[in-house]
């Protein structure tokens, strides 16, 4: 069965159609003064976790420390995406200095499986430990969401502190949208979650979100004062691969030279809807198509996915890899896949995208056409998006892209350019430094009337 010809073979350059998302050149941190800040970051995910939110929290903490600030991180024990405490972290507490950051780990409940009630208990247990930890009298307390319960507890403690710090909330996922889009809550429960998220964000001195679409939701639906909301994009946290022996890398994974390798990396959870990928591989088996779908990573859905894939030859599961091997795998694949469950549209920007953009390979996103993920694909010009939950379209489109060398190179080049233009780590950390300085300055001078956001 031949692969259908697709319209992207003549796709025009779309990188100019979303200029509002591109950030203007930045000449350095916008500082209210030049003194070093004391910043305490509260977030349950941190290195050595390698996926999700942890790489960004870690990079921000270490980047601020390199700029001369005193950074403390109160975090949990490594557990994601496996949803079990990593080996070597069975203590109740662990305090260490890592790359200039004082990291205070506190043990918390890890639900198995991570049901909605289990996650609530996990957040509450982490919050209880984190608010009893020493915060080192920070100028700014930065809470990493979506752990809203621990954020609420932290804000309550901050308000009671004699030396009240400014409180910023860094929104990586939209909590109230997440519970709806993953099917965890609906009706009254979903409305209660939205009210809770609104109250927490409105109680903070400032809110940072990772996408303009997030800002729209936070200001319009959650009724947060627009002057309190800053948009600072997540960045590419892995380095592009240099020249590799692609054939050797493919052989090491058992990938044939003449098969199209479609690789999905990262968490295997509910919002990824990876049953769609298994169904596409099953179709490929039935039709004898030269394709291999690779699910690389871990997560609470992995055992069920492996069970569902029993007897399907054109799918492969790969455990999480160290950095160099991970980057090599991305570079050696033919197509990089983002797959989202039908109905997931606004809750998150998949962190895997920032890694995919560095690979030089095309991206295929099976997602809602109005989703934040689809928006990023259009903005970057790094691939195409198709509908979610359609294994036939996924299979046919993946084969068509994988066999189109010209379009693949164009998509890959566009992704790398997007990294340089929009997703610079130094640029983002400079922006965060300026934002944190403004929060601290406003807290020291409550009568100030100027905006806390960049004009």
* Residue 295, domain CATH: 3.40.50.2000
pLDDT value of position 437: 97
Phi/psi at 252 (nearest 5 deg)?
Answer: -65, -25
Residues in the chain: 455
- Express each pLDDT in 179-223 by its tens digit: 555 556 566 777 888 888 999 999 999 999 988 888 998 999 999
Q: Residue 257: which domain range? A: 246-422
Residue 4 lies in a domain: no
Are residues 42 and 126 part of one domain? Answer: yes
d(CA 34, CA 361): 42
Are residues 195 and 49 part of one domain? Answer: yes
- Express each pLDDT in 143-189 by its tens digit: 998 888 999 999 999 999 888 999 999 999 876 666 555 556 566 77
d(CA 7, CA 27): 40
Are residues 257 and 297 part of one domain? Answer: yes
pLDDT value of position 51: 85
Are residues 412 and 433 part of one domain? Answer: no
d(CA 63, CA 425): 9
Tokens of 164: 């009240």
Angle at 442 between CA 422 and CA 444, to 5 degrees: 135
Are residues 311 and 294 part of one domain? Answer: yes
Buried/exposed 86-116: b ≥16 CB within 10 Å, e otherwise:
eeeeeeeeeeeeeeebbbbbbbbbbbeebee
User: Mean per-residue pLDDT for 5-11?
Assistant: 36
Are residues 152 and 55 part of one domain? Answer: yes
Residue 9 lies in a domain: no
Residue 81 lies in a domain: yes
pLDDT value of position 17: 34
Are residues 309 and 218 part of one domain? Answer: no
């Amino acid at each position: 069965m031949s692969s259908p010809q697709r319209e992207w073979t003549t796709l025009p350059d779309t990188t100019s159609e979303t200029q509002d998302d591109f950030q203007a050149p930045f000449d350095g941190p916008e500082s209210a003064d030049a003194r070093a800040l004391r910043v305490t970051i509260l977030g349950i995910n941190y290195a050595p976790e390698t996926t999700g939110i942890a790489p960004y929290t870690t990079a921000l903490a270490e980047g601020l420390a390199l700029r001369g600030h005193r950074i403390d991180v109160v975090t949990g024990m490594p557990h994601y995406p496996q949803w079990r405490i990593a080996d070597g972290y069975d203590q109740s507490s662990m305090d260490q200095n890592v790359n200039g950051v004082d990291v205070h780990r506190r043990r918390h409940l890890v639900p198995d499986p991570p049901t909605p009630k289990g996650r609530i208990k996990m957040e509450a247990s982490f919050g209880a430990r984190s608010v009893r930890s020493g915060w080192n009298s920070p100028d700014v307390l930065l809470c990493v969401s979506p752990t809203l319960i621990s954020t609420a507890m932290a804000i309550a403690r901050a308000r009671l502190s004699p030396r009240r710090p400014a409180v910023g909330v860094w929104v990586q996922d939209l909590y109230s949208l997440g519970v709806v889009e993953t099917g965890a809550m609906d009706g009254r429960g979903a409305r209660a979650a939205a009210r809770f998220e609104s109250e927490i964000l409105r109680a903070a001195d400032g809110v940072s979100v990772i996408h303009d679409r997030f800002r729209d939701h936070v200001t319009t639906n959650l009724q947060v004062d627009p002057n309190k909301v800053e948009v600072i994009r997540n960045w590419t946290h892995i380095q592009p691969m240099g020249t590799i022996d692609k054939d050797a890398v493919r052989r090491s994974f058992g990938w044939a030279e003449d098969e199209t390798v479609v690789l999905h990396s990262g968490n295997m959870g509910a919002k990824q809807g990876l049953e769609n990928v298994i169904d596409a591989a099953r179709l490929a088996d039935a039709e004898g198509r030269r394709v291999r779908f690779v699910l690389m990573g871990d997560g609470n859905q992995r055992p069920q996915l492996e069970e569902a894939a029993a007897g399907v030859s054109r799918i492969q599961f790969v455990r999480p890899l160290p950095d160099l091997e991970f980057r090599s795998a991305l570079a050696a694949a033919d197509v990089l896949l983002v797959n989202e469950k039908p109905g997931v549209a606004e809750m998150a920007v998949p962190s895997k995208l920032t890694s995919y953009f560095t690979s030089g390979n095309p991206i295929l996103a099976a997602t809602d056409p109005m989703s934040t993920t689809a928006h990023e694909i259009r903005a970057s010009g790094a691939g195409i998006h198709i509908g979610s939950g359609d294994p036939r379209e996924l299979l046919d489109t993946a084969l068509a892209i994988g066999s189109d060398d010209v379009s693949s190179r164009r998509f890959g080049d566009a992704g790398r350019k997007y990294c340089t233009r929009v997703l610079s780590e130094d640029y983002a950390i400079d922006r965060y430094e300026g934002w944190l300085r403004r929060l601290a300055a406003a807290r020291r001078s409550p009568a100030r009337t100027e905006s806390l956001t960049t004009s």
